[in-house]
Structure 1
């Protein structure tokens, strides 16, 4: 078990400055905990489930005994008051390797909740997103806001909608924004916000925004938002998700300030979104299919990393990939052709392999599909 790097009495280990202010190094803005139970009693007793009915009271209780403790993701904290040696695992802390102070927000979440609000790590850069220059230009306002949120106030671009053909880089751009600005990214699928019981979905929405606000500046990226935000005309298709949508609208309306938090919704079908939800987005950014030069750049980038050399003219591949997204070029053209060559014990990927991949792709496109699947 990974032990927490602390002294038995954290207050004794604190350093004092000449002004008397505690010098604890980096301050933990947020700590997300998961209850583990009694690790030293193994199976001798049943580990109780912790339910928090007042989050503010739990934070006060937790900070009182753990203030000054140094925490890092994967370490453990032990409750030595109400439940002797009851363990909590640190699922997330921002920044990592920091100390709990009187200002630290401490959240207790179940395993499935933690999974939904876990920060996504990425090393993507803006230059990795080929094309989409108009989208990148529009994202400058998001960049500026996350760099200096206090100066924007009511002018903040808090809710932005990414829309366009699948595979055109919506998620990649969000990841690159987060990485280049070094701000946390909370990426969730809209369908994962629908709980099994009444109240589950709304609680997940509020926990998600609480987690982001606690370590702001931060980005929340809700993929496939149309899965819960379909127009009411499609009520029979979307099911009873009004609770989730209402909770999302409440957060997007800014009932809580959520300073320094940008919510990005992504959809392939913006015209199907409910008006009440779509109207909350102050900015809509469209992602388009790559043009000829952009397809050339995408092909050249991916071909370099393929495990077999390509014995085909890139110019021909540019023409062959017309109408494809960046993801289609990688997964439907290059990957299928590569796998075909390997399955036939070839040493290179040939033009015939690419023609096979294109034929396979066209067949998939022409198969009837449920647009709401």
Structure 2
């Protein structure tokens, strides 16, 4: 397989390292980056096997292309990739927001992506081959997305160590506002609040405790990246902040009123919510193989994947098998867990497709 990586920083470099370490020995990884020093460092670290001087050169013969740049630069980079990529090349990105880039193209080769992985460090020097191990990697196929190219990308993401999950762009951005973008806002607010307190108090603050360190680990994250994320997902982030402010105001009210039962109930609810979230991450069980008969039409694979993704049913693996007459075909899905497989069966049947489990 030939892979093109446009942007060889932390994420692009880690994709290259993982691909060259875990894929077939014949895998070729070519990198392009406007930062010549970063590109040379990526080659020296073994993240790429070949450097390219342009997007067009990087995409020569590529079967998959990863766009790895700040979200505000992705639409322009995507247009360039679409112009130079082959007709059978899958194109994806790694941006933290998805609505804007999804709306920018209807090309069947493009499937938006976002690996939920990273570190406080940036640049190729912090890239790691195990960065994606066990991480969710969201894929946002549009109705126009090629089923064959989606399957290729799904398999590649899984081979890099991640868990591919289909989700629509709007849901992705609302979800990430809650679990990623708002926590960054809070971290920034907390450190600034602590710094203000330090300057206002006559006595020095005590040594910072582990709770504060944990809550502010991402404070001040790379402004050139995060300013673009805040801007591109401003509406969803602001909505989540408004709801959070209401919840904080309720807690403040209970504290001022000395309402100990309400405070205790609030703490217990948080404990239970955290337990449920952790359990959902650890869900497992036996692997089920579901075979789905579908018409050979554009968007069918995306329709099935998104229906399961919205319901929290993760596809461990998938293959496509067109019928001899090319008028229909089969999607084979592997799903982990009895309940998840049963729910997947129900959802596929509700879409009107025939489904059977392999014995």
TM-score (norm 2): 0.22
TM-score (norm 1): 0.21
The structure whose residues are more often helix, as a share, is 2
